[in-house]
């Protein structure tokens, strides 16, 4: 059914203005003043902002990791994402060395297809680079529309790839039109520091942070950036946490290298001291890279403001405290890494960013949606409010004051790392391709309604997808 959203203030990465939006056939059909259509449902957005739906470029839903499986799947994870104002997620498809890439992609399709309530896409992990893998990459791009490859520089003996693999992936990405993403930490040095800590009997959660200091993130980030320059390729550094890594990215960008970076809400508002909470509660705050000392937070905010960092991902990878995080009692290396963030990503950025004067309203939209669509081959179909774009829309009340709590969260995990944090602003209604997923804060969507998105090649607009997929 047609809809007209009336009386709201439209905010894009470029503009802020009052206008009505007519939605027809899943798309934005018209933007203008005093629109009328007797056959349309009228949605009153008086007093609210109308943002393009959030795009979360970094999720791990139902992912086997750390001896268990992340708790939120494509059902609970995307419902929670929608409650939080997100209308597209890009999830990481893990791969196994020596096995066909398509097998892994098929597994990811199987677990998402009938569950996702919003549109979704995949990045693909590259763990090795050889003739066999090289041969498969063109079909990953052309048949699956997966145009971003993830290389892990850490998690030794699990996901970690060597520098040769990273460099060859950068070369191939340049050739094929894909973006390379890195988890940048020096896994070999971490492995050594971890062994030393365990030998010394240092087993509490805080040692997770102390054995992965900012220097190992800064070093790996700088290494990946230099290799990107050498390959004349393109790089996106996921979950940047610290001054050392921001400096490495800024230095590469000054040299003209195509290096970009993402940070996550947890690094903007939580800090290393959370890992010292008593009764093993520090395990709730174990991420890799770890939470940092507080002074790094203002460096991250500044980088979002100046553009040395461009995007905000959730790195959603949730585990229950009871039954999952506690696998690491007595040995911090066995604590599953990650947390439930997908629902609060947009609200934290709005409240801590816009409301506290660190970024503008338009920068907020860019960081949580537009720049992500442009980076990952989804623009202008996604990531903006313009005629012809998918009607993925977030109606947001900027005045509501509330306190984040697991009691009111929709994520499946048994705690919320932002428990007790006060935020201003709340998603009220969310539309995915013209249909309500959230209406007046209630979930009204349908399982499996989300479409799998084949993305454009790196740097190309979605209008060029036709050429890519009609071959």
Which residues are at the interface with Zn ion (CB under 5 A)? 183, 293, 315
Report what 274 binds from Zn ion, ligand URP, none; CB cut-off 5-8 Å by kind.
none
For residues 270 and 438, which CB has a smaller minimum distance to ligand URP in the complex? Answer: 270
Q: Which entry of ligand URP, Zn ion, none binds 95, CB below 5 to 8 A by partner kind?
A: none
Peptide bond into 380 cis (omega under 30): yes
- Among Zn ion, ligand URP, none, residue 213 binds (CB under 5-8 Å by kind): none
Instruction: State whether residue 164 is helix, strand or coil.
Output: helix
Q: Of residues 137-196, which lie at the interface with ligand URP (CB under 6 A)?
A: 183
Nearer to ligand URP by Cβ, of 115 and 239: the residue is 239
Helix, strand, or coil here: 293? coil
Q: Which of 23, 317, 365, 385 binds ligand URP (CB under 6 A)?
A: 317
Which three-class secondary structure state does DSSP give residue 112?
A: helix
Residue closer to Zn ion, measured from CB, 158 or 387: 158
**DSSP state for residue 365 in the 8-state scheme:** H
Please report how close the Cβ of residue 443 comes to ligand URP at its closest, in angstroms: 26
* Residue 287 binding ligand URP, by CB under 6 A: yes
Q: Which is nearer to ligand URP, 51 or 236 (CB)?
A: 236
CB of 64 or CB of 98, closer to ligand URP: 64
Cis peptide before 76 (omega within 30 of 0): no
Q: Which of 57, 261, 338, 445 lies at the binding interface for ligand URP (CB under 6 A)? A: 338
Pick one of ligand URP, Zn ion, none as the site partner of residue 206 (Cβ within 5 to 8 A by kind): none
The set of long-range contacts for 271-277, using a CB threshold of 8 Å and a minimum separation of 24, is 271/296, 271/297, 272/206, 272/209, 274/417, 275/205, 275/206, 275/208, 275/209, 276/205, 276/206
The count of chain residues that interact with ligand URP, using the rule CB under 6 A, is 9
Q: Least Å distance between CB 300 and ligand URP?
A: 16
User: Is residue 377 a contact point for ligand URP (CB under 6 A)?
Assistant: no
Q: Could you say which of 116, 148, 337, 370 contacts ligand URP (CB under 6 A)?
A: 337
Q: Cα–chain-centroid distance for residue 84?
A: 13
**Per-residue contact track with ligand URP, 215 to 244, x per CB under 6 A?**
------------------------x-----
The entry of ligand URP, Zn ion, none that residue 287 binds, CB within 5 to 8 Å by partner kind: ligand URP
DSSP letter (8 states) at residue 378: -
Residue 293's binding partner, choosing from ligand URP, Zn ion, none, with beta-carbon cut-off 5 to 8 A by kind? Zn ion
Query: CA 217 → CA 66, 186, 211, 309, 446, distances in Å?
Result: 21, 6, 11, 15, 40
Q: Identify the CA nearest to 323 among candidates 414, 421, 420, 254.
A: 414
Under rule CB under 6 A, residue 208 binds ligand URP: no
* DSSP type of residue 337: P
How far apart are alpha carbons 188 and 387 in whole angstroms? 50
Nearest distance from C-beta of residue 335 to ligand URP, angstroms = 10
**Residues constituting the chain:** 471
Beta-sheet pairing, 9-11 with 3-6: unpaired
**Closest separation in Å from C-beta 177 to ligand URP:** 24
Task: Report in angstroms how near the CB of residue 469 gets to Zn ion at its nearest.
Answer: 28
Pick the binder of ligand URP from 3, 60, 212, 284 (CB under 6 A).
60
CB of 337 to ligand URP, least distance (A): 3
Report the distance separating Cα 459 and Cα 379, nearest Å: 10
Residues 6+ apart with CB under 8 A from 406: 413, 414, 415, 416, 419
Minimum distance of ligand URP from residue 39's CB (angstroms)? 46
Place of tokens 């800024």: 250
Burial of 418 (0-12, 13-18, 19+ CB in 10 A): buried
Residues that bind ligand URP (CB under 6 A): 60, 183, 239, 287-288, 315, 317, 337-338
């Amino acid at each position: 059914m047609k809809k007209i959203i009336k009386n709201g203030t439209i905010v894009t990465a470029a503009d802020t203005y009052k206008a009505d939006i007519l939605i027809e056939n899943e798309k934005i059909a018209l933007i203008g003043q005093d629109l009328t259509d007797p056959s349309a449902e009228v949605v009153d957005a008086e007093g609210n902002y109308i943002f393009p739906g959030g795009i979360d470029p970094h999720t791990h839903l139902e992912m086997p990791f750390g001896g268990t499986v992340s708790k939120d799947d494509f059902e609970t994870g995307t419902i929670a994402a929608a409650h939080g104002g997100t209308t597209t997620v890009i999830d990481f498809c893990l791969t196994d060395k020596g096995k066909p890439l398509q097998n892994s992609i098929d597994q990811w399709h199987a677990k998402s297809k009938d569950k996702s309530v919003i549109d979704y896409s995949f990045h693909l992990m590259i763990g090795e680079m050889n003739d066999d893998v090289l041969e498969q990459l063109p079909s990953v791009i052309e048949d699956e529309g997966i145009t971003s490859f993830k290389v892990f520089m850490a998690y030794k003996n699990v996901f970690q790839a060597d520098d040769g693999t990273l460099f060859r992936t950068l070369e191939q990405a340049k050739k094929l039109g894909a973006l390379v993403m890195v988890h940048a930490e020096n896994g070999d040095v971490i492995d050594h520091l971890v062994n030393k800590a365990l030998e010394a009997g240092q087993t509490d959660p805080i040692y997770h942070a102390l054995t992965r200091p900012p220097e190992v993130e800064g070093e790996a980030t700088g290494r990946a950036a230099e290799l990107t320059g050498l390959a004349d390729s393109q790089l996106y550094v996921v979950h940047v946490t610290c001054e050392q890594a921001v400096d490495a990215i800024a230095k590469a960008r000054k040299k003209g290298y195509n290096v970009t970076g993402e940070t996550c809400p947890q690094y903007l508002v939580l800090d290393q001291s959370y890992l010292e909470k008593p009764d093993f509660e520090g395990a709730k705050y174990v991420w890799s890279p770890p939470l940092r000392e507080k002074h790094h937070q203002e460096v991250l905010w500044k980088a979002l403001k100046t553009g040395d960092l461009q995007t905000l991902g959730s790195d959603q990878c949730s585990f229950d405290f009871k039954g999952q995080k506690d696998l690491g009692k007595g040995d911090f290396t066995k604590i599953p890494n990650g947390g439930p963030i997908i629902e609060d990503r947009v609200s934290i950025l709005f409240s801590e960013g816009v409301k506290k004067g660190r970024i503008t309203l338009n920068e907020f939209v860019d960081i949580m949606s537009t720049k992500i669509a442009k980076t990952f081959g989804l623009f202008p179909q996604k990531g903006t409010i313009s005629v012809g774009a998918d009607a993925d829309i977030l109606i947001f009340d900027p005045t509501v004051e509330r306190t984040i709590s697991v009691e009111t969260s929709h994520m499946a995990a048994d705690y919320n790392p932002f428990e007790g944090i006060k935020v201003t602003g709340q998603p009220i209604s969310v539309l995915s391709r013209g249909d309500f997923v959230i209406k007046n804060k209630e979930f009204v969507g349908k399982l499996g309604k989300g479409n799998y998105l084949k993305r454009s090649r790196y740097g190309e607009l979605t209008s060029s997808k036709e050429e890519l997929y009609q071959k």
